[in-house]
């Protein structure tokens, strides 16, 4: 009898211990069924719509200076890399023969004028005919034309800057026999540069003359050069379906040089839209999805339509509204129907 009572008591003790163990185990696991994730709340953000283009800078005005006659160089009046003004004399060619011709032509003109006055007085006395005076008038005009011709020849022997700009490398020396087409140096108007680039035809409604642009160069990564669109081509390229656009870029310190590769940002307009961190979005087939968190902290897949991407963020056009919450960090740990709890990351708030 005592043995039966002992066995019965032992069984009751074992059952009680087992029940206590499992009840404690379940109570300990219950708080750990929800996954900790970082949550992002959709909020409106102001962004700038912009288009990006690449192209090479070129001078607003550019020329290779050369001579129009064959002659030796007598004097060089510029230095390489010099900024010059319009009309500044850069180089002269030998002109001794032309100066002598001009002197002779001036003497001849003066002689014809003296003879004209003498005949004019004789005509008043009716000592000569009027035809003699007409002949001398023609001689005066011929002498004046000869002077103008020699002066033009002398002008061809003086090379001047046709506009304000920056000179390039000098390719000649004093005494060089310069022929038409021989390059003396280059001259570029670099205070204001131009750049041609192409944009797809779908952007045509968003670009216009006078629109602001920002230019960047790898040579000056911390500087932004301002400019504007000055003209659009009259035609769209039927092969590429793009239109050529010309922009003007301010370069007051002449830091940029023709030929440099520039990146252009065409500032379009500022607007307010919903932006998400790019890492919150994942793809399945051709769909963009996020894990949306409901008020009861349950996760569900939500298909969204995305727009532009800027600085690690992506625009959401549809599928989410302001105030919706989505999983930001921890996407690999959840699936549809999962329960989550919000994890606070102090480093995102700037805390140490």
Q: Give the residue-averaged pLDDT of 201-218.
A: 88
pLDDT digits (tens, 9 = 90+) for 77-87: 999 999 999 99
Under the phi-then-psi rule, with left for phi > 0, alpha for psi from -120 to 50, and beta for the rest, what region is 18? alpha
Q: What's the pLDDT score for residue 6?
A: 54
* Interacting residues of 207 by C-beta distance below 8 A, sequence separation 6+: 51, 199, 229, 232, 245, 266
Q: Give the residue-averaged pLDDT of 117-144.
A: 72
- Tokens of residue 298, six digits: 């349950």
Taking all residues of the chain, what is their mean pLDDT, rounded to a whole number?
A: 84
Percent of the chain with pLDDT over 90: 48
pLDDT digits (tens, 9 = 90+) for 168-183: 999 999 999 999 999 9
Any idea which of 113-122, 135-144, 154-163 has the lowest mean pLDDT? 113-122
This prediction has a pTM of 0.57
Q: What's the pLDDT score for residue 331?
A: 87
Q: Give the residue-averaged pLDDT of 173-197.
A: 93
The per-residue DSSP string of 35-76 comes to EEEEEEE--EEEEEEEEEEEEEEEESSEEEE--SS-EEEEEE
Q: What's the pLDDT score for residue 245?
A: 94
Under the phi-then-psi rule, with left for phi > 0, alpha for psi from -120 to 50, and beta for the rest, what region is 54? beta
pLDDT digits (tens, 9 = 90+) for 147-166: 888 777 788 889 999 999 99
The per-residue DSSP string of 271-303 comes to EEEEEEEGGG-EEETTEEEEEEE-TTSBEEEEE
Helical segments of the chain, H only: 2-29, 96-124, 130-155
Q: Give the residue-averaged pLDDT of 260-267.
A: 88
Which residue did the predictor score with more confidence, 86 or 108? 86
pLDDT over 70 (residue 212): yes
- Tokens of residue 293, six digits: 């968190």
Q: What's the pLDDT score for residue 27?
A: 47
pLDDT digits (tens, 9 = 90+) for 267-302: 767 788 899 999 999 998 889 999 999 999 999 999
């Amino acid at each position: 009898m005592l043995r039966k009572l002992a066995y019965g008591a032992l069984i009751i003790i074992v059952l009680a211990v087992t029940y206590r163990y499992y009840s404690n185990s379940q109570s300990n696991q219950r708080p750990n069924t929800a996954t900790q994730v970082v949550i992002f709340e959709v909020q409106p953000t102001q962004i700038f719509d912009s288009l990006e283009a690449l192209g090479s800078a070129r001078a607003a005005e550019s020329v290779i200076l050369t001579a129009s006659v064959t002659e030796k160089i007598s004097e060089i009046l510029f230095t390489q890399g010099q900024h010059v003004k319009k009309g500044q004399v850069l180089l002269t060619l030998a002109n001794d023969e032309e100066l002598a011709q001009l002197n002779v032509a001036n003497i001849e003109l003066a002689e014809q004028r003296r003879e004209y006055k003498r005949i004019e007085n004789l005509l008043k006395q009716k000592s000569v005919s009027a035809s003699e005076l007409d002949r001398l008038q023609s001689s005066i005009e011929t002498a004046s034309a000869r002077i103008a011709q020699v002066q033009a020849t002398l002008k061809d022997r003086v090379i001047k800057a046709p506009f304000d700009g920056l000179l390039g490398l000098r390719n000649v020396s004093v005494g060089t026999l310069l022929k038409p087409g021989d390059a003396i140096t280059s001259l570029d108007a670099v205070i204001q540069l131009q750049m041609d680039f192409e944009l797809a035809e779908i952007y045509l409604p968003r670009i216009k003359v006078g629109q602001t642009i920002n230019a960047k160069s790898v040579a000056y990564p911390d500087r932004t050069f301002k400019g504007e669109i000055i003209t659009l081509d009259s035609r769209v390229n039927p092969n590429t379906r793009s239109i050529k656009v010309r922009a003007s870029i301010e370069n007051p310190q002449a830091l940029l040089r023709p030929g440099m590769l520039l990146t252009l940002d065409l500032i379009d307009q500022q607007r307010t839209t919903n932006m998400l961190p790019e890492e919150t979005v994942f793809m399945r087939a051709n769909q963009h999805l996020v894990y949306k968190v409901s008020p009861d902290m349950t996760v569900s897949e939500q298909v969204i339509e995305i727009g532009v991407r800027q600085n690690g963020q992506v625009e959401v056009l549809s599928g989410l509204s302001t105030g919706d919450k989505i999983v930001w960090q921890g996407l690999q740990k959840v699936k549809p129907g999962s329960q989550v709890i919000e994890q606070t990351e102090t480093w995102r708030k700037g805390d140490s």
